[in-house]
């Protein structure tokens, strides 16, 4: 008998594209089958209706979660493209469902009498989803909204892909990298032409901006890092802003902020700048004190400076920590060998949450860098996690937690993935903090 909560069986490297396409096809077919049943013979009780709708959401979420992850981490371009196609197909179907007036009438006519607060909330949110998709608009406006949703998905994918694939490099003579940690220099020998390559991936760009004494090199690396995705993404952003504004106004909101905030904790569009202003006001005085100290130190090297450039800020912050507090980041990083940090992360969180992590060395993964662990509590498996923590071509360039499968008691194991871009050797302290932060999302 198969385990009803066994982990998702991921494909081997050579089978991934077919596997993704089959997963998407089957998941969408499952959702359509349940939806057709709701149309033709709605359940007799509202609770049964909501449970059926939850099955639809689970089928679609399972496809979208896998597709979103592998589109951002799989080393094969064909697999990433297939995953983006699957994401688009799910988005099109979700929009069509939420604009379906017959389905809407089924939910609008549901009797909430006797439902517990959780079920009432789900029914209310489901009706809101229909309304926010424009179910009550005329055919022309609904078609336009469907096109906007489809285009927003494509624009978002292209925006992320442009940054992900735009790894830039700066090549300089080895002597211009004075100040860099010795372990980094050892791992980056000069080429035959005497030049060392510094990439915009975090393990290169962060220490270069923190430690290199040559201001021009710091500037070159900073500009290369900040210009990833430019100029292509500038036009995409403009299109995204325009589409969001049009979408919001079509469904009756003043602007995108009002539309987006309506389903968030902030509650309303005007509350967003009000909150930001309160935070800015509270932080203004300590910010000014810190900036004055930083400028004071900067002016010792650049007399008369009235501002400090982004390309210099990390370097001078590090200098101040050394000079004022006797804290040397190059010494600190010697305590943070990657392998020890990863094990320490598991040890600390295991003690904190009463968990243990059991390595699964034979688990199928999308790249050899990925490690899989079963998460156990009192010896019982309650989830599985994957750690994908080093940069490579075609991979998401920041740090994030991705859901692989939402947990459903007795039916589906919770699975998540941590995607980061850390050094294989010694880590910066800030990167250790980031790893623990992101792992918090994972657990």
3-state secondary structure 389-413: CCCCCCCCCCCEEEEEECCECCCEC
Q: How many CA atoms lie within 13 A of 131 on its CB side?
A: 13
Reported confidence tier of residue 4, pLDDT bands at 50, 70, 90:
low
State residue 2's pLDDT score.
46
pLDDT tens for 294-333 read: 999 999 999 999 999 999 999 999 999 999 999 999 999 9
Q: How far apart are CA 383 and CA 413, in angstroms?
A: 6
Order of all β-strands in the sheet with 356-359 = 356-359, 371-377, 380-388, 414-419, 400-405
Mean predicted lDDT score pLDDT of the chain: 96
Residue listed under structure tokens 């994030």: 400
Residue listed under structure tokens 């925006």: 159
Domain 13-136 belongs to what topology? Glutathione S-transferase Yfyf (Class Pi); Chain A, domain 2 (1.20.1050)
% the chain with pLDDT above 70: 99
Section 351-376 average pLDDT = 97
The first and second tokens of residue 1, run together, are 């008998």
Residue 44, pLDDT above cutoff 90: no
- 15-27 exposure pattern, b = at least 16 Cβ within 10 A, e = fewer: ebbebbeebbeeb
Residue listed under structure tokens 């036009």: 235
State residue 185's pLDDT score.
97
Q: Is 50 exposed, middle or buried (0-12, 13-18, 19+ CB in 10 A)?
A: buried
| CB neighbours of residue 36 within 10 Å | 10
Q: How far apart are CA 136 and CA 132, in angstroms?
A: 9
Phi and psi of 321, rounded to 5°?
A: -65, -40
Give which of 361, 345, 328 is closest to 443, Cα–Cα: 345
Asked if 405 and 375 count as a contact pair (C-beta separation under 8 A), the reply is no
Phi and psi of 170, rounded to 5°?
A: -125, 130
% the chain with pLDDT above 90: 95
**252 Rama class: left (phi>0) / alpha (psi -120 to 50) / beta:** left
Contacting residues for 175 by C-beta, under 8 A, at least 6 apart:
none
In CATH terms, is domain 335-442 a member of 3.40.390.10? yes
Residue 3, pLDDT above cutoff 80: no
State residue 290's pLDDT score.
96
Does the N-terminal peptide bond of residue 195 adopt cis geometry, omega within 30 degrees of 0?
no
Residue listed under structure tokens 């940090």: 341
pLDDT tens for 277-294 read: 999 999 999 999 999 999
User: Higher confidence at residue 3 or residue 79?
Assistant: 79
State residue 412's pLDDT score.
94
pTM: 0.93
The first and second tokens of residue 73, run together, are 């981490």
Q: Report the C-alpha dihedral over residues 17, 20, 21, 24, rounded to 10 degrees.
A: -170
Please state the domain extents for the chain. 13-136, 167-226, 275-327, 335-442
State residue 1's pLDDT score.
38
pLDDT tens for 100-123 read: 999 999 999 999 999 999 999 999
Q: How far apart are CA 48 and CA 7, in angstroms?
A: 27
Tell me whether domains 13-136 and 335-442 share a fold: no
Three-class DSSP category at 35: helix
Q: How far apart are CA 221 and CA 177, in angstroms?
A: 11
Contacting residues for 291 by C-beta, under 8 A, at least 6 apart:
308
| CB neighbours of residue 408 within 10 Å | 13
Asked if 25 and 375 count as a contact pair (C-beta separation under 8 A), the reply is no
pLDDT tens for 401-423 read: 999 999 998 899 999 999 999 99
């Amino acid at each position: 008998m198969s385990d009803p909560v066994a982990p998702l069986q991921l494909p081997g490297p050579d089978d991934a594209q077919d596997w993704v396409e089959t997963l998407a096809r089957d998941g969408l077919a499952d959702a359509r089958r349940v939806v057709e049943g709701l149309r033709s013979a709605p359940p007799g009780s509202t609770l049964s209706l909501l449970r059926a709708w939850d099955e639809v959401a689970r089928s679609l979420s399972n496809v979208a979660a896998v597709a979103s992850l592998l589109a951002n981490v799989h080393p094969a371009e064909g697999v990433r493209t297939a995953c983006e196609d699957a994401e688009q197909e799910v988005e099109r179907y979700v929009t069509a469902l939420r604009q379906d007036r017959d389905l809407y009438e089924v939910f609008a006519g549901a009797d909430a009498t006797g439902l517990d607060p959780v079920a009432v909330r789900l029914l209310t949110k489901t009706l809101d989803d229909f309304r926010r998709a424009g179910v009550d608009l005329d055919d022309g406006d609904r078609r336009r909204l469907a096109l906007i949703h489809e285009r927003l998905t494509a624009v978002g994918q292209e925006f992320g892909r442009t940054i992900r694939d735009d790894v830039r490099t700066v090549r300089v003579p080895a002597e211009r990298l004075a100040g860099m940690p010795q372990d980094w220099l050892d791992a980056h020998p000069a080429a035959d032409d005497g030049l060392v390559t510094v990439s915009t991936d975090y393990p290169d760009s962060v220490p270069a901006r923190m430690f290199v004494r040559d201001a021009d090199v710091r500037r070159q690396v900073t500009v290369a890092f900040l210009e990833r995705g430019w100029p292509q993404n500038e036009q995409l952003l403009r299109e995204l802003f325009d589409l969001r504004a049009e979408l919001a106004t079509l469904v009756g909101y003043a602007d995108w902020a009002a539309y987006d905030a309506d389903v968030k904790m902030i509650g309303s569009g005007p509350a967003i700048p009000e909150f930001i202003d309160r935070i800015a006001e509270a932080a203004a005085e300590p910010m000014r004190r810190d900036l004055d100290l930083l400028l004071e130190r900067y002016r010792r090297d650049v007399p008369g400076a009235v501002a400090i450039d982004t390309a210099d800020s990390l370097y001078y912050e590090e200098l101040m920590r050394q000079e004022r507090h006797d804290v040397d980041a190059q010494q600190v990083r010697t305590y943070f060998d990657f392998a020890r940090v990863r094990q320490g992360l598991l040890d600390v969180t295991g003690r904190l949450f009463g968990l243990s992590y059991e390595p699964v060395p034979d688990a199928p993964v999308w790249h050899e860098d990925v490690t899989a662990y079963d998460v156990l509590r009192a010896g019982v498996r309650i989830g599985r996690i994957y750690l994908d923590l080093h940069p490579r071509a075609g991979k998401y360039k920041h740090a994030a937690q991705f859901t692989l499968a939402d947990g459903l008691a007795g039916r589906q194991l919770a699975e998540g993935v941590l995607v980061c871009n850390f050094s294989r050797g010694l880590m910066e302290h800030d990167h250790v903090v980031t790893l623990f932060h992101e792992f918090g999302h994972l657990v």
